[in-house]
Structure 1
C-alpha cells in the first residue's frame, strides 16, 4: 500500500478552499466519497500535522482491518501464494538463470541481495551446468518461477513491454504517462545478464539463505596490485586507497593482462590492502611487471554538488547518496557560494543534477506551487542568475569540469553557446516518447570517460531527458561522443515511440572549453541509485579532468 501527502510547503500552513479540491487524478474522476476514498478531506488549513495524521490513519486502518479479519487475511495470503506458485509453474518461462560470467561480478551479487530483500527464493549452482544448450559455470544462480513471488520476479528479471492501446492514450492519441516507470527490470538497470529458460531446472541446488557479503582476495605482486576498472566497487576501493595516501595509476593501454581503465596500486601497506579488500569485496591482483609506460597517475578531485533551495531536487538527493555509498567526498554548493565565483580555488569538478534552467537560474521562474519567489527570505531564494552562469563558465575555462545530468545540460548548451543541440527539444510526445525505459547504448570504452564499460549495454531513459547532436562548426574537434544510441532496435524494456528521432545520436558528450570541459550525460546515469550499469560514467567523470 502506498500513501502520499503533498502541498504542505514543508512547514508552512496552507489554506485550501473546498472548490480548489479537484479529482481527475489517479483513477479518481471526482473529488467525492467513493470506495477507494471514503472520507474526503473537506478543506481548510493544511499543516504538517495533518500529513502525520493521514499517515497514522492509513497505517492503523491496515492493522485494524487485519486484526478484525485475521483468518480471512491469512487464508487470502495462502491462496495468493499457492495460486502464484502454480501460475509460475504453468508459465512459458520456468526460471531465470543469472550466469557467473558477468561484466561486473560484485554488482551481480548485489542483484542477488536485492532479490533476497524482496523475499524471492534464489538457488546457487555449485558445479558447471548445461541447460538449453548453454553452459553455466560454478557460482551461477537461478530463480524458479514456481514460487509465491513469481509476479515480482517476472517484472524484475524479465523483459517487459508497456501496453500501447486505448487505455494508455488520451482522446487526442497522446500517450499517457505511467504512474512511475514503464519498466522496473532491476537486472537491466544494473547491467546484469539474465537468461530466461523455458524448461524446468532439475536437480538439488542449495538455497541462498543469507545476504552475500563478498571478501576480496589479496595477492601481492612484485610491482604492486591491480584492481579491475570494470567493477563499480573498485571506485570505492580507490577512494579508500586515497584516504590512506596510496599512489594509484590508471591503465591507458591494454596489455600484459590488463585492460584500459584498470587501477594500479604501486605502494600500500599490506594490512591496508587486506582491510580494503574485506570492506569492498574487490580483489587486489598481483602486478608482476612494470606497466608505468602504459599508465597515468590518478589523483583525487575536489567535487562540488550543486543544490538549490526551491522545492528540493530528488536527482540531487540521489546523487548525494551515490557519492556517499562509493566513498566520494564532496561539498554541497549553494547559490551564494556559486555566485561569488573563483570556484577553481576550491573545486575541480562541479555536478549539476537533472534540473531545468529556470529552477537553477531563477530566470522567468514565476510562481512555483503557488509560491511567489518573494515569499521566501532572501537567503533561501533559489536562482543564481547570470552571475552564477558567469562563475560556472569561468570555472570551466580555467580548467574545471562541469558534469551535468539530464536537462541540466541545456544550461551549458544555451548559456555557454556550445556546438550541441538537444534533438528532443520541442518534440511532441506523439513523435517521441520514453517514460522510463531501458534503451540500448553503445559505449566508447577507449575514452577515459567510459573506461570499464562494456562496448554495448543498457541505459535508463526517463521523460524529459536529453539527446545530443553536434552542430557542424569549426569546434567539431572539441566534442567527444562518449555514448551513442544504435541505428535501430533501441528498446529493451518499457515503452518507446519514435526511436528514429534519437537513433545514432549521442547520449553523452564531452565538450572542451578553454582549459576545461563540460561533460553532459543526457539521461540519468545514477537514477534512484538503482542504475548500477551506468554508474561508471559518473565515476570516470569525477576522476578524469584533463
Structure 2
C-alpha cells in the first residue's frame, strides 16, 4: 500500500468510526449485546435464529422500524423484512406504498399528477443479504445495516430516514441458519474454515435448489422467491434494489456496476443509464472514503442480459437493480497481488494493495455501499419516482401502438438488404455515408416484424391447466392477466370463454415480452475472425416455449369481454367428468401434465391404471396414443372428480372397455440419486417429483454400493451432473470430509460412484429388470453400461475422433427444437416437436448394431436451424443426432435424456419425458377386451 493510500484509508476509518461513535446516542441494543459479538468479528457468524431474535428486539426498542413477515421459507421459517424509515414515514407507510404502486403501474396518470406524486412520495430502497448463504458477508452486513439505521443520529442518516424507506430483507433464512451453524460447530475459533476440501455444508443451503435460488425469479417456484417477488412487484415497488453477493475478482475487493454488455433489448433504455449512475455513486463513495479495490465492467463477466435473477428480474419491472460481489470470510484470508490489477484503468481506478483481509473490512465496505445507495435515493428521490412512472408510461404506449424491438437478427436483415440494394453499384465510400435511409422503415420497422400488442391463450388448448400455471408465473411477477367472460373474436379467429388475455399495454411489458418472445443474444467477438466471447449465463429461456403454451400474438389493440383476474393466482377451470355413474371406466388425455398427479393418487389407492397404446375418439374428441384408462370404482370416481375440480383435468366416462393393447402401470419405487454436499439438479428433481406427487427415496453412494437394488427400487434417477466421468484421465472430484469429522446423521451420505463398486451394482439392477433414467451429463452412464451409442458431438482430426472444441460448438442455456416419435411410451402425450432446454448438453449417435440391441430413438435434432431462443455457435454439429433414447439391457431399460428436460422446474413441455420414463419402467403389457 502506498503512503498516500495508507493515509487515506486511515483517515477514512477514523472519520467513519468517529461518526458512528458520536452518533450512537439512541438507546438501542447492539448486535454484540444480543448475539454475543460484533458483525465482522473474525471467526464469528450469526445464524438466522440469532438475527431473528435481534431484529425482533430492535422492533420493540426503535420507532424507526417495522417488521413484516413475508411468508414461510421452504423449511418453515418466517422470512422477515425490516422496514426502516422515520417514524413519520412509517406512520404513513400504506400511503407511500400506494404512491409507489401508482407510479410503478403508471395507469391513468397525467405527467403533472405523476410529478405531484413523485414530490410527495418517498424513495423505496431494497437491501437484501444472504441469498447465496455461503456468501456470508451478505447476511452479516444486513444485521449491521439494520442496527446502524436504527441507532445513528448523524445528519446524513436522518436525511436518509426522512427521504427513504429501506426494505432490509433476509433473502435465505434457511441457508443462513445452516451455513452459520456449520461454520460455528467447531469449538476452537481458530480452526473454523469456510472454504476448502470437505468443508462445505452436507446439503444444499436452500432446501431444494441451493445456488439456483438466484435463477428462480421469473418462474417463482420456491417459497422464498414467491415471498420476495410479492414484496417487490405487488406490495412495495422499490425504485432501487441492492442484491449483495460474493466473491470479488482476484486482486480486487469488490465488483460493482456498471456491467458489461449486452443488456436485454426488452427493457427501457433508462435502466442501463440508471444502473450506471447508481454504480458510479457507489464507486465514488468508496474512493472518497479511501477504500480501494472496486472494479466494474471488464473486471468481471456479469451482464444484464439474463432475466431470472433476483437483481436482473427487476430491470423488466422498471427498477434499478444493483449487484455487488465482494471478498471476505469470517476466517481471515490473503488478498493476492495480481499484476494486471495494479495498473489503474477506467474499470478499476483505485487498485488495492495485497494484505491479510478481515471480515470487518468487508462489512465496512458494504456499509459504505448501502449508504451510497441510500444517499443517491435521497438526493434523487423525485427523479427516481418520476422516472419509474415514465418507464411504465413508455411501456404502456409501446404496447398500445406499433412498436419494434431491434435485435441482432434485424440488424443482420438490414445489412443483407443494404448489400442487395448495392449490387451492381459503386460502393466505394458508401459505408462511411451510411446505409440507405429508407431501410430504417422498410427493414427495421417492417410491419411484419413489429411487436405484439397482446397475446391470447385459448382455453381449448390441449393442456390448459399448464397454461394457467404459466400465467401464474407472470402474475407472481406483477403482470396483469385478463380472462374472457364469454367467447370472442380477435383478428379473424374465434376464442372460447375462459381464454386468457395478456395486454402489452401495461407497465411491466418488458417482462411479458421476455416471457413470450424468443431471446436473440448478440455475438461478441474480441477481434475480427475470433471465436465469440462466451455469454455469462443462459441466453434463451422464453417461458411460454419452455412450458409448451399455445398462444396467438395480437398485432392490433384487442377489445373483448375481458376482466382482470383479481385473485393472487389464477385457477384452472374445473374439468368435466362425463358419463355419470353407469360407466365402465374413464379415459383421460395423456396431454394433461396434471394427469400424472391423478395417476399417482390412483396408484396410491391401489387402483388399476392403464395407458392405451392406440389412439381413440371419445365424446367427439380424438385422443392420441397413451390415453389413461381407469376402470370404474367408487373410489376411482371420487379421485377423478376431485382432480377435475382441483387440477382442471377432464375425464371421459365410457360405457365399454376400450379394446386393444395397453400398458398396466404399477406403483413405482423411485430412487433419486444425490450426494454429500447436495446436487442442485437432483434437488430440483426432488422438488418436481413432490409437485406431481411421485413417491421417491433419496439414494446415496453407499446404498448403491450395497447392492440388491432391484429389491428396493424400480427406477433410479441420475439428474444432470450426478453420474461422474469415470475415465482414468478424468479430473478428480472434490475431497469429502472424514466420517469422524461430521455429525453421525450425515455419514451415510458420504461416498462416490466408482467403476469398481457402484457400476456393477447398477448394471445388475438393470439386468434384473430395473430402469435407469439419466439426464444431461449423467447420460455418460451409457459408457459404463456399454450401451450401443456414442458421443454425437465429435469430429475426426488427423484420423482421430475427438470432441468438437468449444471454439467450434458452444450453446449455453438456449431453447432448441427436437423432433420426436410420440407413439413411443416415453413420449406419450407430447406433440411431434418440442422445444428443449439445451445447455451444452450431450447428444448421441447410434452404433451400427444399435437396433439389434434394442436401442430406440425417441427424440432427435433435425436438419437446418434448431435454435428457437437464445444463442448457438456451431449448431449444425447437432443435426441428425439423438436427443432422447431408450436402450434395453437384460430385463431392464436405460433412458438417456440429453437435454435438460426438468431444468429448474421450468420446462413443463418436457416433464413428460421424465414422468413417462418413470411410470413406463415397471409397466407391464396388457390386453383389454
**Is the TM value for this pair above 0.5?**
yes
Residue 61 and residue 113 in structure 1: after superposition, are their counterparts in 2 closer, same or farther (change >3 A)? Answer: farther
- Structure number with greater CO (CA < 8 Å, separation at least 6) is 1
Q: Is the 8 A contact 1:158 1:196 kept in 2?
A: no
SS in 2 for 1:89: coil
Q: Which residue pairs with 2:316 in the alignment?
A: none
Cα displacement (A) at 1:436: 1.3
**2:392 pairs with 1:81:** yes
Q: Distance in 1 between matches of 2:325 and 2:832?
A: 55
**Aligned residue runs from structure 1 range 92-171, under 5 A:** 92-93=450-451, 94-166=453-525
- Relative to total residues, which structure has the larger helix share, 1 or 2? 2
SS in 2 for 1:286: strand
Aligned with 1:32 (options 293, 308, 327): 293
Q: Is the 8 A contact 2:789 2:850 kept in 1?
A: no
Cα displacement (A) at 1:509: 0.2
**2:331 pairs with 1:45:** yes
Residue 119 and residue 416 in structure 1: after superposition, are their counterparts in 2 closer, same or farther (change >3 A)? Answer: same
Cα displacement (A) at 1:191: 0.4
Q: Distance in 2 between matches of 1:62 and 1:441?
A: 47
Residue 43 and residue 316 in structure 1: after superposition, are their counterparts in 2 closer, same or farther (change >3 A)? Answer: closer
**2:593 pairs with 1:227:** no
TM-score by length of 1: 0.88
Alpha-carbon displacement from aligned partner over 1:225-245 (angstroms, at most 9, x marks no partner): 122111000000111112222
Q: Is the 8 A contact 2:886 2:893 kept in 1?
A: yes
Q: Which deviates the most, 487-496 or 466-475? A: 466-475
Q: What is the root-mean-square deviation in Å for CA atoms of aligned residues? A: 3.6
Residue 51 and residue 418 in structure 1: after superposition, are their counterparts in 2 closer, same or farther (change >3 A)? Answer: farther
Q: Which residue pairs with 1:295 in the alignment?
A: 662
Alpha-carbon displacement from aligned partner over 1:329-380 (angstroms, at most 9, x marks no partner): 0000101111001100010000000016537899955363xxx446675945
Q: Distance in 1 between matches of 2:758 and 2:628?
A: 36
Q: Which residue pairs with 1:393 in the alignment?
A: 763
Q: Is the 8 A contact 2:524 2:533 kept in 1?
A: no
Cα displacement (A) at 1:416: 1.3
SS in 2 for 1:404: strand
Q: Distance in 2 between matches of 1:388 and 1:88?
A: 57
Q: Is the 8 A contact 1:361 1:385 kept in 2?
A: no
Q: Which residue pairs with 1:275 in the alignment?
A: 642
SS in 2 for 1:385: coil
Cα displacement (A) at 1:39: 10
Q: Which deviates the most, 401-410 or 372-381? A: 372-381
Residue 486 and residue 456 in structure 1: after superposition, are their counterparts in 2 closer, same or farther (change >3 A)? Answer: same
**2:874 pairs with 1:498:** yes
Aligned with 2:708 (options 329, 342, 349): 342
Q: Which residue pairs with 1:213 in the alignment?
A: 571
Alpha-carbon displacement from aligned partner over 1:470-515 (angstroms, at most 9, x marks no partner): 0112654510001111222211111122222111221100011111
Q: Distance in 2 between matches of 1:22 and 1:508?
A: 45
Q: Which residue pairs with 2:752 in the alignment?
A: 383
**2:611 pairs with 1:250:** yes
Q: Which deviates the most, 98-107 or 476-485? A: 98-107
Q: Is the 8 A contact 1:21 1:43 kept in 2?
A: no
Give the number of aligned pairs.
537
Cα displacement (A) at 1:275: 2.6
Cα displacement (A) at 1:533: 0.3
Q: Which residue pairs with 1:462 in the alignment?
A: 839
Gap runs ≥5 in structure 1: none
Cα displacement (A) at 1:14: 3.6
Cα displacement (A) at 1:79: 2.0
Cα displacement (A) at 1:300: 1.4
TM-score by length of 2: 0.53
Cα displacement (A) at 1:405: 0.3
**2:788 pairs with 1:422:** no
Alpha-carbon displacement from aligned partner over 1:496-541 (angstroms, at most 9, x marks no partner): 2222211122110001111111100001111011100001111100
Q: Which residue pairs with 2:719 in the alignment?
A: 353
**2:913 pairs with 1:537:** yes
Q: Which residue pairs with 1:324 in the alignment?
A: 690
Residue 19 and residue 243 in structure 1: after superposition, are their counterparts in 2 closer, same or farther (change >3 A)? Answer: closer
Residue 63 and residue 517 in structure 1: after superposition, are their counterparts in 2 closer, same or farther (change >3 A)? Answer: farther
Cα displacement (A) at 1:188: 0.4
